[in-house]
Structure formats: C-alpha cells, structure tokens
Amino acid sequence: MIPKKSASDLRRLAAAACLLCFALLVPGAHASFTLEQVMGSPFPTGLTAAAHSGRIAWVFDGRGVRNLWVAEAPNFEARQITHYTADDGMPIASVRLTPDGRTVVYARGSETNRKGEVADPTSNVTRPHQEVWALEVDKGEPRLLGAMECDDEGCEDVQLSPDGRQAVWAARGQIWIAPVSGAEKARQLTYVRGENRDPRWSPDGKKIAFVSARGDHAFIAVYEFGRETLRYLAPSVDRDQMPRWSPDGAKIAFLRLPGAQAGLPLIPERARPFAIWVAEAATGAGREIWHSTNEPNGSLPYMVAEQSFHYAAGERIVFASEQDGWAHLYSVSAAGGKETLLTPGAFDIEDVSLSADKQSLVFSSNQDDIDRRHIWRVGVAGGPAQALTRGETIEWSPLEAGAGKYVVCLGSSATTPGMPYHITAQGRQMIARQALPADFPSAELVTPRPVIFKSEDGLELHGQLFVPRHRIRSTPERANPARSGDPAMPGPALVFMHGGSMRQMMLGFHNMLYYHNAYAENQYLASLGYVVLSVNYRTGIMYGRAFREAPETGWRGAKEYLDVVAAAGYLQSLPYVDAKKIGLWGGSYGGYLTAMGLARNSDIFAAGVDMHGLHDWFEEERHWNPRLGEGAPDLAEAKKLAWKSSPNSSIANWRSPVLLIQGDDDRNVPFSQTVDLAQRLRAQKAGFETLVFPDEIHDFLLWRSWVKAYAATADFFDRVLKRGEKIGAP
C-alpha cells in the first residue's frame, strides 16, 4: 500500500500543480485522431554521411515499409532512392555511403535465431534471407552483394574500404568480403577459429583488423591482403575488443577486459575493469597505456563504449568512462599518461561521432536538460563543450557531413515525430519535410509534464505525465473546484514502464523505434481520456551509474518495483484520478514490471497489459546461458532470490485481469514465459486474455503488429477500467 505520509505530501503538491496549470478534467473524451495516424509517421534510422561529399543517407520506416532516402548539402533537399512497397518485416540496417557518395550499401532482412532461422512474421512459405545490397544513388536498381544472416540482435555491420570499392561484414562466425560493384560473389575472407566480428579497414585499405572471440578469451587479429597468415596483437588470456586504427595506419588501439573465470558466486555484483592498449600494426607488439580502477565506477560503460572509442588526431585516444559516476568522454595520449575529462558535469553522454578532421567530437547528452537529448561539440584534447542545439526539442545520432562543413542529426519534440535535421547557427532545420504525413496529429497531441517524486526508500524518480487535453478546462474561475463549486471528476489512469531496463523515456518522441511507438501509444491513450504516468524507474539510463546499477534490482531483489508503486502513489494523489481505476502496461522489462504489479498488488492495480514480459528470472537467465551457475557456491541461494524477484512467486495474490501479448519467435524473451504464465493464471482462476503473433519477434517487425497490439491495449483498458467488464480465465 502507499505510505500515508508520502501520499499526503503528494496530494498537497498535486493540488498546487493543479492550481498553477488551471486544469480540471472532465469526462467523455473521445480520440480526435486514430492510432494509425499517430503511429503513421516514418521513423528515421541509420543516418550516415559520405566522407568526401555533402551527401547523407538514412532509412525511413513508414508504416512498416522501409526505404532509403538521401539528401545533398547545402540545401539538403531529400528524395527516396529505393522503392520497397510492403510491410514485409524486412528491416534495413548498416547503411553506408561510399566516400564519393555515389553508392549506398546496406543490409536488408532480420538476423537469425539460435536455430539459424531468419524471422518471417508474414508467415510466408518461402524462406526469407538477410542480405547485403548496393545501389547507385542516381540510377539503377539494387544489386545483391551476398548473404549476411548474422545471429545476434543488431549484428549487422557492413564496413566499406577507404576507396569504396570493397565491402566486408561479419556473418556466421566469419568475415566476408565482396566488391561493391557486384562483379563477383561474396566470399569468406579467411578461415579463423572462433566467432569473428567487428572488421575495421586500415586507412590504406590493405589490411583488416577484427575481433576473434574464443569463448573465455578474445584476440585482435589483422588480415593483410597478399599475406597467408594472420597477425595477432599482443595475444593474452583476456578479452580484447574494439580495434581502432591510428590515422596513419601504423598503430591499432583496442580495449582489454579480463578473461572469464569459472566458479564465481552469482549474487555479488562485480566491477568490469578495462584497459586501453596500443599495438604496432606491423609487428603485433603492444602495451597498456591506460587502465581503469577495479571499483564499480571503473567498470566499462558498455552501452556507450563502442561508439565513444576513437583514435583521434594528435595521437589522442578517446574513450568513455564512468569514473566520476557519470558516463563521460575522456582522452589520453597514445603514449600513455593522465586522462583528460572532456565532458564534466552531472549528465551522461550517449551518441558520439568523430569529426572529419578527427580533432573534435559531436555527441548527444542530457546536459542541462536531464529528460531530453541535445547535440554538443568538444575538442579531443579538451576545452569547453559547445551546445549545438537546445530548448524543448530532442536530438540524437549527430554526425558531420560535407567534409566537416555541416552537422546533421535526427530529432523530435513532444508533438513532432522523429525526423532528420540540419543543424545551423539559427537552429535545426527539418530535412524531408515532405515525408511527414499531412494527417499527422501534432496539433492534437499533449505536451507531457515533467514530474519528480520519490520512491518508498527516498530515491528520486523522474516521469512524464500525460494529461488528456480533451478533459482540460483552462479558465481560471473553473480551475479550483473548492472555489468554483465544480467538483473534480476523477477518471482512470495508467502507469507505463519502459523496457530494457537500461532505457529512458523522454519528454517527446523517442530515439528508438520501439519507444517511439510506445510514446505514440501513450499519446493515444491520453486522447482516450487516460492520465498516463511514464516512470523512469531505477536501472534506467541517463541518471548516472548509481541509479542504473542500483543494488538489489532485477533478479537480485526487484527493488525497482518500489518505483512502480511510487508512480501509482503519485497518480492516487491527483484529484482527477480515480484511485480504484489505475492500470499499468509495458513491454519486455516493462512487461515484467506489469506482471509484478498485478501479482503483488492487485489491490492497487486494477488491470494490466503485459507485452512479452519475463515472469521467471532464473529461467530467463538460463535461456541465455544454459551453463549458468556451474560451480557457483551460491547457486541454490541465487535460485531462491531469483524466484522471489519474479512475478510467478506471487501468483497466488494475482486478482486483476491482464492482456498478454507476444510473438512466438521472440529472440529476447522466450515465448515459453508467456505460455507458462497463462497456465498459472488459469489454475489461479485469474482473468486473462492473449494476443499472439505467430512468427513475430520481440521488437515487432510488422507495423500492423504494433497497431494491432496497441489497439488491443486501448480496447482492453476501455473494457475493464471504463466499462467495468469482467475478464474470465479461458
């Protein structure tokens, strides 16, 4: 239950907020736009730029139809260059432009699952493939370069040679190469033991460095054209990764992490220290130039580590570290020495790219605006960072174009969906405005309010509150029920939890398609009259390492669930919320927290929608590592802790109805988690409904799957919370 003291405090705060905004909710709201409209804008990904021209390219995913677009400096007039026409579940990734900008290379299709199966959400009887394609931007049709079919989420990684004539990529454990012209079929570059990935061309195009992972250790290997043997860089018993060539091609920097150790206890959380090494490309001889501490703040910040690691001009190595508790950029001399902090302050960096001259970095962060992202520039040797964007907008994926003359990015706002932008001295300018649907309901969307509240244990939490505009009266004389005599009319409300859990919802459309869609759904729910509170619970990103890696969370105690209860307490304190009609919803980790709410607190949460959530922590962990816990002295204790932290352990208390949604080719959370929960709910005689998508994956590949799932979510809440329909156990 909600502590009386904190609820009382929140009521006073909410009353004050209500007076300030002159908002009195009224019943009877109806959506002024459709779900298809608010989810109908094309979402941009894969922004890239040609090294020696002013051309940029990106992918637009419009209602499930993915196509490539390009634009040229200085005016950045955009045009579509591919002409795929179906919502067919075939994503486009790893977009690359040749240095002259004349040719674009890309991967099309989804990765394989553990059985080597490419996702086929259309349930077509013909097997789909994941392939690498090339297209002349100004003429012709796409030409096939070869098969990819890599086997991990986000594994698509095509790298073009410096002259743009050759493409290499990792697939099926090996490195493959093909001429961009398509004159020859793709071939395996060489036979190498292990899982080989992350190929990187030398500046002269004569060598390729890559990672050769061998299970408990990994090497950096160098393949040289015309040479019959590989060269390994300072091979050791540790795990080497992220090779980066020096601008002159003489050296390679890489990260070294400790090798695997068997029989360690499962429950204690350990630091992940790392070191930076620099090796001579010609001989393989290397040495350590910097290392982190063994403290938690010294751990590798792996979510930003790869894109932050660069061999820059002036023999400076740029890297990310959380040594002060925040994810920041640092640089150090390639000869070694003391590191230089480039981005000081209480904020986290995210997307990072190196400038064309390799002397500066353009990056996104939440500096001075903790619930948004903006673009900044800083020199690799240090000095004050310069803000390139600011205000009530959101920007991400920055990079230079036109050999450093221009900066482009992707961006959004509270009421404008993700689009590409050109950043100028006067502000950001939208590229491809013609792609924004004429019926996109920007004028009908609400601007979510930033709210801050505390969890039971005192942890400060951030959230975004969506108040239905259809139910707001803005006249001051009617804003205060006590003064006007017009009583408040409370209605239903929802708590939304993002997935991840290392994610952050923002005060606008998100920089990831999954959460861009979720933000659109929250807007749609608000248009139906629901007050929605999106809570950024502990273990999320952009609030520092201590928040992200809070103790006793996940399978080690599920303490983040306290934050979900606190969000419900905040909603209960609002005079326009019916405390008996609070639901919750979320996907993946958000689905897990939805199930936790219904299992532990059906007295607070009247209904829920659980999209591909996990319900048994130990089974989920064992799915990813079948040998989990072998030799661990605390295996039995870990199993008990994981069970107590799972919704299934509290199933006897589950009373509120739930809608379970999942695709049965889910590669992130096994479909068996939903199958098992349904049987437990049936035995418990708890009401539930299901929506199953055959052959669909975790991050739905079909736009129509998203629309159907979100329409079902809104319908379920309408029936249960608004109309009081009783849901039985099928």
Assess if residue 267 is contained within a domain.
Answer: no
Q: What is the helix, strand, coil percentage profile of the chain, to 5?
A: 20, 35, 45
Assess if residue 247 is contained within a domain.
Answer: no
CB atoms within 10 A of CB 152: 12
Give the pLDDT confidence of 254-282 residue by residue, as tens digits. Answer: 999 999 999 999 999 999 999 999 999 99
- The pLDDT value given to residue 397: 98
- pLDDT, average across residues 609-624: 93
Position 528 pLDDT exceeds 50: yes
Report the C-alpha gap between 294 and 297 in whole angstroms. 8
**What is the domain-level CATH number for residue 604?**
3.40.50.1820
Position 714 pLDDT exceeds 70: yes
Kind of pairing between the strands at 607-611 and 577-587: parallel
Share of the chain above pLDDT 90, in %: 88
Residue 78 backbone phi and psi in degrees, to 5 = -100, 150
Residue 594 backbone phi and psi in degrees, to 5 = -60, -50
Q: Say yes or no: 409 and 450 in one domain.
A: no
Question: pLDDT category, 117, cuts 50, 70, 90?
Answer: confident
Residue 191 CB-density burial (10 A; 0-12 exposed, 13-18 middle, 19+ buried)? exposed
Give the pLDDT confidence of 585-602 residue by residue, as tens digits. Answer: 999 999 999 999 999 999
* DSSP, residue by residue, 515-558: HHHHHHHHHHHHHTT-EEEEEE-TT-SSS-HHHHT-TT-GGGT-
- The pLDDT value given to residue 691: 98
- pLDDT, average across residues 238-253: 98
Position 426 pLDDT exceeds 80: yes
Q: Say yes or no: 495 and 633 in one domain.
A: yes
Q: Residue 423 pairs with which residues in a beta bridge? A: 407, 428
Question: pLDDT category, 487, cuts 50, 70, 90?
Answer: very low
Half-sphere exposure of residue 571: CA atoms within 13 angstroms, side-chain side? 34
Report the C-alpha gap between 595 and 677 in whole angstroms. 10
Helices (H), 298-426: 302-308
- Contact 392/507 with Cβ under 8 angstroms? yes
CB contact set of 9 (below 8 Å; sequence gap of 6+)? none
Assess if residue 495 is contained within a domain.
Answer: yes
Position 475 pLDDT exceeds 50: no
Buried b (16+ CB within 10 A) or exposed e, 551-583: eebbbbbbbbbbbbbbbbbbbbbbbbbbbebbb
Question: pLDDT category, 151, cuts 50, 70, 90?
Answer: confident
Report the C-alpha gap between 156 and 48 in whole angstroms. 15
Q: Say yes or no: 400 and 453 in one domain.
A: no
Question: pLDDT category, 312, cuts 50, 70, 90?
Answer: very high
For the chain, the straight-line distance linking the first and the last C-alpha, in angstroms and rounded, comes to 30
**What is the domain-level CATH number for residue 387?**
2.120.10.30
- pLDDT, average across residues 8-15: 42
Q: Say yes or no: 461 and 390 in one domain.
A: no
- The pLDDT value given to residue 469: 78
CA-angle at 623, arms to 193 and 701, nearest 5°: 90
Assess if residue 105 is contained within a domain.
Answer: no
Please give the structure tokens belonging to residue 504. Answer: 């952050």
Please give the structure tokens belonging to residue 545. Answer: 């390492």
CB contact set of 255 (below 8 Å; sequence gap of 6+)? 240, 241, 242, 274, 275, 276, 277, 300, 305, 309, 319
Position 238 pLDDT exceeds 50: yes
Q: What is the DSSP letter of 383?
A: -
Assess if residue 288 is contained within a domain.
Answer: no
Question: pLDDT category, 152, cuts 50, 70, 90?
Answer: confident
Question: pLDDT category, 472, cuts 50, 70, 90?
Answer: low
Position 476 pLDDT exceeds 80: no
Q: Say yes or no: 591 and 717 in one domain.
A: yes
Chosen domain end from 389, 413, 437: 413
Position 166 pLDDT exceeds 90: yes
**Helices and strands: H and E segment counts in the chain:** 12, 40
CB atoms within 10 A of CB 459: 19
Question: pLDDT category, 523, cuts 50, 70, 90?
Answer: very high
CA-angle at 47, arms to 43 and 51, nearest 5°: 165
* DSSP, residue by residue, 33-79: S-HHHHT-SPEEEEEEE-SSSSEEEEEEEETTEEEEEEEETTTTEEE
Q: Say yes or no: 672 and 586 in one domain.
A: yes
Is the bond into 74 cis (omega within 30 degrees of 0)?
yes
Q: What is the mean pLDDT of the chain?
A: 93
Chosen domain end from 392, 413, 434: 413
- The pLDDT value given to residue 16: 38
Position 681 pLDDT exceeds 70: yes
Kind of pairing between the strands at 577-587 and 491-497: parallel
Find, among 430, 420, 429, the residue nearest to 398 by Cα. 420
- The pLDDT value given to residue 415: 98
- The pLDDT value given to residue 622: 85
Report the C-alpha gap between 45 and 617 in whole angstroms. 32
Give the pLDDT confidence of 564-583 residue by residue, as tens digits. Answer: 999 999 999 999 999 999 99
Find, among 220, 390, 243, the residue nearest to 317 by Cα. 243
CB atoms within 10 A of CB 85: 7
In 266-359, beta strands by DSSP E: 275-280, 286-291, 310-312, 316-321, 328-333, 340-341, 349-354
What is the crossing angle of helices 561-572 and 4-21, to 10°? 50
Position 15 pLDDT exceeds 70: no
CA distances from residue 659 to 181, 416, 588, 730 in whole angstroms, order as listed: 50, 30, 14, 12
Q: Say yes or no: 466 and 345 in one domain.
A: no
- The pLDDT value given to residue 30: 64
In the chain, the number of structural domains is 2
- Contact 169/148 with Cβ under 8 angstroms? yes
Identify the three-state secondary structure at position 304. Answer: helix
Q: Say yes or no: 390 and 485 in one domain.
A: no
Give the pLDDT confidence of 411-424 residue by residue, as tens digits. Answer: 999 999 999 999 99
Position 295 pLDDT exceeds 70: yes
Give the pLDDT confidence of 339-385 residue by residue, as tens digits. Answer: 999 999 999 999 999 999 999 999 999 999 999 999 999 999 999 99
- The pLDDT value given to residue 348: 98
Q: Say yes or no: 375 and 483 in one domain.
A: no
Q: Domain range for residue 400? A: 312-413
Assess if residue 15 is contained within a domain.
Answer: no
Q: What is the DSSP letter of 24?
A: B
Q: What is the DSSP letter of 149?
A: -
Q: Say yes or no: 499 and 615 in one domain.
A: yes
Q: What is the DSSP letter of 127?
A: P
- Contact 675/621 with Cβ under 8 angstroms? no
Q: Say yes or no: 383 and 452 in one domain.
A: no
Position 473 pLDDT exceeds 70: no
Chosen domain end from 413, 431, 454: 413
Assess if residue 652 is contained within a domain.
Answer: yes
Share of the chain above pLDDT 70, in %: 93
Find, among 411, 406, 378, the residue nearest to 396 by Cα. 411
* DSSP, residue by residue, 431-456: S-GGGS-TT--GGG---PEEEEEE-T
Q: Residue 251 pairs with which residues in a beta bridge? A: 280
CB atoms within 10 A of CB 205: 16
Assess if residue 270 is contained within a domain.
Answer: no
- The pLDDT value given to residue 2: 38
Report the C-alpha gap between 255 and 278 in whole angstroms. 9
- The pLDDT value given to residue 138: 95
- pLDDT, average across residues 718-727: 97
- Contact 132/106 with Cβ under 8 angstroms? yes
Give the pLDDT confidence of 39-95 residue by residue, as tens digits. Answer: 999 999 999 999 999 999 999 999 999 999 999 999 999 999 999 999 999 999 999
Q: Say yes or no: 497 and 387 in one domain.
A: no
- The pLDDT value given to residue 470: 60
